Every structure is written in structure tokens, then in C-alpha cells.
Structure 1
Amino acid sequence: MKLLYGLHIVFSIGSALAFTVHDVAVAENGFVFTPNSVTAATGDFVRFTWFSGPHGVAQAAFDSPCVPLTSPSSGDSVVFFSGLMTPSGSTKPTFTIEVNSTDPIFFYCPVDGYCVT
């Protein structure tokens, strides 16, 4: 059985003077992001921590959830991609993004077969 392995992050308008780090576990409880939704303000950070792997985090368009989103300026570079990461022993890799917009963003795991529509 294939599962949709994705995360929808909803951004909200917040104070520019303070920020919050929102933690997201990657594959801690199966092939999912936990939590599977985050509400973050501009200036906040979202930190992904890997518990198993290899897994990754890539930005996609909501209507194309399994296709890496490309930069509008270049048309060929991926806007956001962590690369594939695998924990080793007690070391858990992390990847952090800064929230720059209040627009919703969709992420998924780009490992073949993990993201299905």
C-alpha cells in the first residue's frame, strides 16, 4: 500500500520581532511527517529532523504534489530540496527553512514510490 508522504504548511502573519522554530519529525512514526501541518508566521523557522531514512523533503505545488517545484526565475532549479538524509546511530540530521511568505507551501518525500497522488 502506498501512502501520500507529504506535509502542508500554512503560514500566518506574525510579529517580525519574535520567531518560533517549528519542529517536524521525518519518519519517526512510519512514513509520515509529524506533525503533518504547521502554522508558521513570516520570520519563523521549520526544522525537519530525520528518525529513519533515506528520506528527504522537497517543495512541490499543491496541485502537483509529487513533482519538485522549480524556481520561477530559472525554470530549472528546485526551490527547496533537503537531499536524501539518513540518521546514523544517535545522530539525527536536520534541515531548516526560514518562512518568507504567508502563502501555503506543500512538501513531500522525493524517494521513489513514497509520494503518490
Structure 2
Amino acid sequence: MKLLYGLHFVLSIGSALAFTVHEVAVGQGGFVFTPNSVTAATGDFVRFTWAAGPHGVAQAAFNSPCVPLASPSSGDSVVFFSGIMSPSGSTMPTFTIKVNSTDPIFFYCPVDGYCVT
């Protein structure tokens, strides 16, 4: 009986640790995110890696695509802003978010003049 309980525990931990990291390049080939959309499950991560700069990643509302969400008190489960970053030599900055919901999350580059509606 103890062996079965222990096996169940290990299988539960293994399934709880299953997630995918979705990679998004920032500024590769111009003022774009590549890919410009991903489909992620709850518990997955999205890692933004800077190919060029200066760029940033900020969450926005669908109806205000170039305006950052102000704070978690806005009612959204995820509010993020990477800050403005640039690669330095061979060092490419990264910024990672955890997906807490399958609701769409909208993001843009907050550098002045880069986001066009």
C-alpha cells in the first residue's frame, strides 16, 4: 500500500511540473515580436529574448493597445512591464512571464514612437 501511495505522489509531482516555455524574440528583424502571438496553457511560461534594442514588453488592454495597464488592481490577473532593455555584446536580456489564465494577454513595445494603433 505504501508503494502505491508513493508512486501516486511521484506521478502527481511529475504532472504538476509539466509546462512549456514559449520563446518570443524581441526586435529580431525590426520592430516586431517573433512570433507575434502564442497559444499557451495555464502554468506555461512566455520568455521574451532581446535580439535588438532598445525595446520593452508591456501588457495592455485590447481596447488600448499602446497604453500600459496601470496595476494589478485593474482586475487583470497579470500585469507586466519588462522595462526598456538592449542586448550588450553577446548578452541578450530575457523577461519571462507565467501564464495564469488562458484569457488573451495583449502586449506591445512601450518605447516612445514604436507602438502604432
Same fold (TM over 0.5): yes
Rg: which structure is higher? 2
Is the strand fraction higher in 1 or 2? 1
Distance in 2 (alpha carbons) for counterparts of 1:58 and 1:91:
21
If the length of structure 2 is used for normalisation, what is the TM-score? Answer: 0.80
Cα RMSD (Å): 1.9
Percent of aligned pairs sharing the same letter: 88
1:71 matched to which residue of 2? 71
Q: Which amino acid aligns with 1:73?
A: S
Distance in 2 (alpha carbons) for counterparts of 1:74 and 1:50:
28
Q: Which runs of 5+ in 1 are unaligned?
A: 1-14
Aligned residues: 101
Distance in 1 (alpha carbons) for counterparts of 2:40 and 2:79:
19
Q: Higher relative contact order by CA 8 Å / sep ≥ 6: 1 or 2? A: 1
Q: Which amino acid aligns with 1:56?
A: G
Matched, 1:113 2:109: no
Contact 1:56 1:81 in 2 (8 A): yes
**Alpha-carbon deviation of 1:71?**
2.3
Q: Which runs of 5+ in 2 are unaligned?
A: 1-14
In structure 2, relative to structure 1, the CA distance for the partners of 1:72 and 1:20 (3 Å cut) is: closer
Distance in 1 (alpha carbons) for counterparts of 2:81 and 2:111:
12
Is the helix fraction higher in 1 or 2? 2
Task: Give every structure 1 segment of 4 or more consecutive aligned residues whose post-TM-superposition deviation is greater than 4 Å.
Answer: none
